[in-house]
Amino acid sequence: MDIDELLIAFEKILSNYPELPVIETRELLKQHLSKRKDFDTQDEAIIEALLRDKDKLLEKSFIESVENYIKDIGLENDRSDFLRSKEGQYKVVEIFLSVLEKLVDYYYQVLLNMQIGGL
């Protein structure tokens, strides 16, 4: 998978959070992705489709997940400090990878259901 395309998309999504140090957070994601070898060819195809999705499901799901996390841990008033922190950067990367995995799994389910339903 061309991780540069995913990193560019991630960087664009991060523009929704101006408090985040984009370069550092992007590098964290790059490090995590370079360690991972569990995306197969089908996963990569789904990820590429997600990056081209006009409805921006990846971006919307990510933003919703970050906002829910911030709300759940009671950081609405301290969100800027949290997002600037190393902990916040790590959490944002963790959330992004989690959302990405869930969307890949979701699309697998949709494809599987279409195949089973088409029999």
Return the ∠ at Cα 23 (arms to 21 and 27), rounded to 5°: 115
User: With a threshold of 0.85, does the pTM exceed it?
Assistant: yes
* One pLDDT digit (tens) per residue for the chain, 119 residues: 678 899 999 999 999 999 999 999 999 999 998 887 777 888 889 999 999 999 999 999 999 999 999 999 998 788 899 999 999 999 999 999 999 999 999 988 988 888 887 65
Return the ∠ at Cα 46 (arms to 61 and 32), rounded to 5°: 70
**Residue ranges of domains in the chain:** 3-117
